[in-house]
């Protein structure tokens, strides 16, 4: 709270709840207050820009239960829309609107952006391999792990590559997930599960609503 005064927070909440979906003004205010608290733990110079990568990854890990390094880095990059290496308060609230209350469409867009590692509009074979390889190592493996990965990528492409160009476009991914929702997070967990969402909302929105 020390970083922003009450008036400023109310003003910002007023603006944000109009620009960002799924939160009303009181909720936006709670999220801004919470953000201010999270920033408080960062050195002042950095706090002015927003949450840095390390701090943001800690939140993904501790609060949202994420464990995959590739995914946590990608989620940071997708939250950080202006690509300035900090997640600002607006970027935080925008990201949370998908995390906590996103529609299926919004989540498809989010996951696709996470999985499109180089941002060229396609999930390529190489990108799939990069996202899947860490998980495969934990499988009981009797054979060449690279062979195993290639097979998984082939299966993924068979399910997803509707236009048969050897890579997954946004439209391919959208069709796939609408047909089988479970495939939303096919290449890695990048959204919080229901339990974490419940716990997060309880923590964030309890005050000042109920006191």
Q: In the bound complex, what is the minimum distance in angstroms from residue 127's beta carbon to a second copy?
A: 14
> What does the block give as tokens for 39?
């920033």
Residues 129-148 that bind a second copy (CB under 8 A): 132, 135-136, 138-140, 148
Residues 135, 14: Cα–Cα separation, whole Å: 43
Is 186 near a second copy (CB under 8 A)? Answer: yes
DSSP 51: B
Q: In the bound complex, what is the minimum distance in angstroms from residue 200's beta carbon to a second copy?
A: 8
b/e per residue 33-48 (b: at least 16 CB within 10 A): bbbbebbeebeeeebe
- The residues that bridge with 87 in the sheet, in sequence order, are 51
Is 106 near a second copy (CB under 8 A)? Answer: no
Residues 38, 51: Cα–Cα separation, whole Å: 8
Choice between 56 and 200, CB closer to a second copy: 200
Q: Of residues 3, 4, 129, 199, which one binds a second copy by CB under 8 A?
A: 199
Choice between 25 and 196, CB closer to a second copy: 196
Per the CB < 8 A criterion, the answer to whether 18 and 8 are in contact is no
> What does the block give as tokens for 3?
């970083």
If 0-12 CB within 10 Å is exposed, 13-18 middle and 19+ buried, where does residue 130 land? middle
Q: Cα–Cα–Cα angle for 166, 172, 174, nearest 5°?
A: 155
Is 83 near a second copy (CB under 8 A)? Answer: no
Choice between 73 and 201, CB closer to a second copy: 201
Q: Of residues 151, 163, 165, 179, which one binds a second copy by CB under 8 A?
A: 151
Is 185 near a second copy (CB under 8 A)? Answer: yes
Residue with tokens 């792990």: 145
Is 77 near a second copy (CB under 8 A)? Answer: no
Is 30 near a second copy (CB under 8 A)? Answer: no
Is 198 near a second copy (CB under 8 A)? Answer: yes
Residue with tokens 């867009």: 109
Is 193 near a second copy (CB under 8 A)? Answer: yes
Binding site for a second copy (CB under 8 A): 37-38, 62-63, 65, 67, 132, 135-136, 138-140, 148, 151-152, 155-156, 181-189, 193-203, 206
């Amino acid at each position: 709270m020390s970083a922003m005064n009450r008036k400023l927070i109310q003003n910002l909440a007023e603006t944000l709840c109009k620009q960002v979906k799924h939160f009303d003004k009181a909720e936006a205010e709670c999220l801004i207050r919470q953000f201010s608290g999270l920033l408080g733990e960062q050195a002042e110079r950095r706090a002015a820009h927003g949450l840095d990568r390390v701090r943001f990854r800690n939140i993904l890990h501790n609060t949202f239960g994420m464990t995959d390094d590739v995914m946590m880095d990608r989620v940071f990059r997708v939250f950080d829309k202006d690509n300035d290496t900090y997640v600002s308060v607006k970027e935080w609230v925008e990201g949370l609107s998908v995390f906590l209350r996103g529609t299926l469409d919004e989540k498809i867009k989010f996951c696709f952006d996470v999985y499109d590692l180089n941002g060229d509009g396609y999930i390529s074979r190489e990108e799939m391999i990069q996202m899947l390889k860490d998980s495969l190592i934990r499988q009981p493996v009797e054979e060449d792990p690279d062979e195993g990965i290639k097979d998984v990528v082939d299966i993924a492409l068979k399910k997803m590559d509707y236009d048969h160009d050897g890579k997954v476009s946004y439209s391919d991914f959208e069709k796939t997930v609408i047909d089988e929702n479970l495939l939303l997070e096919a290449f890695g967990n990048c959204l919080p599960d229901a339990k974490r969402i419940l716990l997060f909302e309880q923590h964030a929105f309890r005050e000042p609503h109920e006191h």
